[in-house]
Chain A
Amino acid sequence: MLKQMEGSHAVAEAIALCRPEVICAYPITPQTHIVERLSELVQEGEIGNCQYINVESEFAALSVAIGASAAGARAYTATSSQGLLFMTEAVYNAAGLGLPIVMTIGNRAIGAPINIWNDHSDSMAMRDAGWIQLYAETNQDAIDLHIQAFRLAEQLSVPVMVCEDGFILTHAYERVDMPDRNQVQAYLPPFEPVQILDPEDPVTIGAMVGPEAFAEVRYLSHHKHLQAVEVIPELAAEFAKIFGRDSGGLIQPYRSEDAETVVVALGSVVGTIRDVVDELREDGVSIGAVKVISFRPFPMLALRGALANAKRVIVVEKAFADGLGGIAVGSVRMALRGLTTPIYTIIAGLGGRPITKAALLDAFGAAVRDEIDDPLFLDLNWNVIDTELARAKEKRRSGPIAENVLRDLGLVGGKPV
């Protein structure tokens, strides 16, 4: 059914259709509207047999989800930013124990400096915690990926994060096609756990594993991700049959088949990139894009295939590693190992800075001429940086950087240090 609704509420309705049995929630912007709406849906009896548990922290939220999943319940939670970091230990635990929890990340920057806006620093910090990570471009994607996430998680007994850009998607009203209950029921069978805490047939979950077996248990977790590379496209194909639309999969190419330059990106910025690709194509530039949907497992072969004929690759990312540069670009390089294709990184949209079509047109244009800085920090205000660097050079007690920068920009008052 076509609806015009807020992204968060669309995700909440999609989760409800997936019939979770336990939802544990702790509010954090910009994810809050999802769990708020779910609390209403549980109370209205829309989800049937579902416990909604208000917990005291994000660490508790995921810990309760772990307990619920181990007891055989379909468990869901959602978080963002510092909330995800606060539950880090439990994030690794859920994956290490192989519990098929689904968690939404309303992507948001991590402080300091304090910032509530969107980028991918949070989920990228958890990229190697053993969870599958799927990134949504649109709110339709977010709905569809959540439905597929439960199927994938439960089939392989591995937790899945569905990452959607905070505010840009969570707070955007747009058209979505909300599946109906029968479709979701047909696609997503009841949860049949591979391990369960059952008093009738007792087991322990969470054994201590020493050097004699730790590597093997960890490898088996890696093996699930390797299986996921096969399963994710199968689940997308099955999804298309039941729901009548292409959604999910490992990657999604856009006008990239014959393109000399191919842009790789994750999440909502892919939409803007599609518009930029169309404009450049009209000007005769041979350019296309590939959306990476599954970042973990990373689609090595699929991406290598999609980029094999490119003369250059540009990776646009909303997070970076200090002292290194891009994060996703490392995985892209791995997929292209042995090839000499130049790969440029554009770091953009940090802390909610808008990624504009104009800025991307300039940057892609420079990349096509092989004249782009690498990595390029898109729209960086070098005056501000130079001023602060000069101040730091001039005197030892130059003061806190964030406050200095805000003062230089006239965003806060007060006397200079």
Chain B
Amino acid sequence: MIGRPAHSRSGADIFQVRIHGRGGQGVVTAAEILSVAAFLEGDHAQAFPSFGSERMGAPVIAFCRLDDKEIRLREPVMSPDALIVQDPTLLHQVDLFSGLDTRGYLLINTTRRYRDLGLGDYVTKFPPHHICTVAASEWAVEFIGKPLPNAAMLGAFAAITRRVKLDSVQEAIRQKFPGELGDKNAAAAGKAYNTIRTN
């Protein structure tokens, strides 16, 4: 098993992820794919959306728990080990960072700098290798032809958390989207992964 976080607030080895985005950005699908990637590595994983009326553009939250044993807890993820922000226009929403410990991981889909996002001070609290900005929408347009950032964000997640392997993420993406669409999304994930690993 790779990259267990040294800290843990929610149980021995459980790793909790919260994904924020907007309806239509594949937020729920991202949680699902992450759970499949962990499953492919033999882990237990539980992915679920924050349930509500589904509308394009409305804020959406999805959760994923990863563990090497059965996950019994059914509450929403309130203290994430990693927070994935698929849409930077959500950044100043109340409670976006709620429960995120500064020993955790923060991934934001943006091409802007932290200080331009108004997060200059906030991100200094995190270890530098625990935070990253990801040009996920741009890469999605490049590889898929649509600004659907979820695959690239998962590639970035694999790169900075080392909690799942890129191969597993790509395999899970291909299972969800068989054929060319899966290959393109897997390529976007690979681009994000490699960009972050080489930086």
- Listed in ascending order, the chain A residues whose CB lies under 8 Å from chain B are 2, 4, 6, 30, 116-118, 167-168, 171-175, 268-269, 271-272, 274-275, 352, 354-357
Decide if B74 touches A173 in the complex (CB within 8 Å): no
Q: Give the distance to chain B from A8, nearest Cβ to Cβ, in Å.
A: 12
Interface residues of B in 160-185 (CB under 8 A from A): none
Decide if A357 touches B75 in the complex (CB within 8 Å): yes
A275 to B73, CA, bound (A): 7
What are 9 A-B contacts defined by CB distance under 8 Å? A116-B51, A168-B74, A172-B48, A175-B39, A272-B73, A272-B75, A275-B72, A356-B78, A357-B73
> Is B31's CB within 8 Å of the partner chain A?
yes
Chain B facing A: main interface SS: mixed
Residues from chain A with Cβ under 8 Å of B39 in the complex: 2, 4, 175
A117 to B49, CA, bound (A): 12
Question: Which residue of chain B has the shortest Cβ distance to A7 in the bound complex?
Answer: B48
Interface residues of B in 34-82 (CB under 8 A from A): 35-36, 39-40, 44-49, 51, 53, 71-76, 78
Assess A173 versus B36: contact at CB under 8 Å? Given A356-B75, A357-B75.
yes
Decide if A271 touches B51 in the complex (CB within 8 Å): no
Q: Give the distance to chain A from B126, nearest Cβ to Cβ, in Å.
A: 25
A171 to B72, CA, bound (A): 15
> Is B11's CB within 8 Å of the partner chain A?
yes
Q: Give the distance to chain A from B94, nearest Cβ to Cβ, in Å.
A: 11
Q: Give the distance to chain A from B95, nearest Cβ to Cβ, in Å.
A: 13
Q: Give the distance to chain A from B165, nearest Cβ to Cβ, in Å.
A: 16
A173 touches which of B46, B51, B76, B78 (Cβ 8 Å) = B46
Assess A4 versus B35: contact at CB under 8 Å? Given A171-B48, A175-B44.
yes
Decide if A272 touches B48 in the complex (CB within 8 Å): no
A225 to B199, CA, bound (A): 66
> Is B32's CB within 8 Å of the partner chain A?
yes
Q: Give the distance to chain B from A162, nearest Cβ to Cβ, in Å.
A: 18
Assess A171 versus B78: contact at CB under 8 Å? Given A4-B39, A272-B73, A275-B11.
no
Decide if A268 touches B74 in the complex (CB within 8 Å): yes
Assess A174 versus B71: contact at CB under 8 Å? Given A4-B35, A6-B32, A117-B51.
yes
Residues from chain A with Cβ under 8 Å of B46 in the complex: 172-174
How many A-B pairs have beta carbons closer than 8 Å: the answer is 63
A168 to B11, CA, bound (A): 20
A117 to B50, CA, bound (A): 10
Question: Which residue of chain B has the shortest Cβ distance to A273 in the bound complex?
Answer: B72
Question: Which residue of chain B has the shortest Cβ distance to A360 in the bound complex?
Answer: B75
A118, A175, A272, A356, most chain B CB atoms within 10 A: A175
Q: Give the distance to chain A from B36, nearest Cβ to Cβ, in Å.
A: 5
Q: Give the distance to chain A from B10, nearest Cβ to Cβ, in Å.
A: 9
A377 to B32, CA, bound (A): 33
Closest 8 CB pairs of A and B: A271-B72, A4-B39, A173-B47, A167-B51, A172-B48, A356-B75, A173-B35, A4-B36
Decide if B49 touches A171 in the complex (CB within 8 Å): yes
Question: Which residue of chain A has the shortest Cβ distance to B78 in the bound complex?
Answer: A356
Interface residues of B in 89-140 (CB under 8 A from A): none
Assess A272 versus B35: contact at CB under 8 Å? Given A171-B49, A172-B48, A173-B46.
no
Q: Give the distance to chain A from B2, nearest Cβ to Cβ, in Å.
A: 19
A30 to B72, CA, bound (A): 21
Residues from chain B with Cβ under 8 Å of A269 in the complex: 74
Decide if A354 touches B36 in the complex (CB within 8 Å): no
A274 to B74, CA, bound (A): 11
Assess A116 versus B74: contact at CB under 8 Å? Given A172-B46, A173-B36.
no
A168 to B51, CA, bound (A): 9
